């Protein structure tokens, strides 16, 4: 709401992103424990989020978080496997939706592993691109 009204603060942004991170990571860690998604996905999310916060603060000396295009979309799509798993769990047993939704959740999780790795690498080499452009 604050973003829509143009009143978002740096602290509010950090709070918003941190709560999303905790929700998604906890949910995906639970799904990984239940062997519904690969365990590496929540681990990579922790690494990527830590890199995001630390880079923004220490490397770019900003109070607000410095988002990347890929990181932003990863943040949106991290909710996807959880939504698909939840929808599968409430679908009627004989509808055939459960296996389809679980397959989609698994495929999305593997896609997010790849895109998260790409995001981590992109963020790691971003300072090199900026320094060579000076």
Compute the distance between CA of residue 64 and CA of residue 52 in angstroms, rounded to an integer. 11
Mean pLDDT across the chain = 87
Q: Tell me the angle at which helices 97-132 and 69-77 cross, rounded to the nearest 10 degrees.
A: 160
Ordered DSSP codes for 70-111: HHHHHHHHTHHHHHHHHHHHHS-GGGSHHHHHHHHHHHHHHH
List pLDDT tens digits, range 20-54.
Answer: 999 999 999 999 999 999 999 999 999 999 988 88
Helices H / strands E in the chain, number of each:
6, 0
Compute the distance between CA of residue 20 and CA of residue 12 in angstroms, rounded to an integer. 12
List pLDDT tens digits, range 48-63.
Answer: 999 888 877 666 566 6
Residue 130: per-residue pLDDT: 64
Find, among 41, 42, 52, 47, the residue nearest to 17 by Cα.
Answer: 52
Neighbours of 90 (CB within 10 A): 9
- Residue 6 or 2, more confident: 6
Contact (CB, 8 A) for 32 and 38: yes
- Residue 12 or 24, more confident: 24
**Is the pLDDT at 84 greater than 80, yes or no?**
yes
**Is the pLDDT at 81 greater than 80, yes or no?**
yes
Residue 127: per-residue pLDDT: 73
**Is the pLDDT at 134 greater than 80, yes or no?**
no
> What are the C-alpha distances in Å from 54 to residues 6, 14, 110, 131?
25, 12, 26, 18
């Amino acid at each position: 709401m604050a973003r829509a009204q143009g009143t978002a603060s740096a602290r509010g942004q950090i709070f918003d992103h941190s709560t999303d991170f905790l929700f998604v990571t906890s949910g995906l860690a639970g799904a990984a424990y239940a062997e519904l998604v690969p365990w590496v996905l929540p681990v990579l999310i922790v690494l990527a989020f830590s890199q995001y916060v630390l880079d923004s603060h220490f490397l770019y000396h900003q109070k607000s978080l410095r988002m990347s295009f890929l990181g932003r979309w990863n943040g949106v799509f991290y909710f996807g496997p959880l939504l698909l798993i939840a929808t599968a769990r409430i679908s009627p047993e004989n509808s055939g939706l459960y296996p389809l939704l679980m397959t989609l959740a698994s495929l999305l999780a593997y896609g997010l592993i790849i895109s998260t790795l790409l995001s981590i690498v992109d963020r790691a080499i971003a300072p090199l691109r900026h320094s060579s452009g000076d």
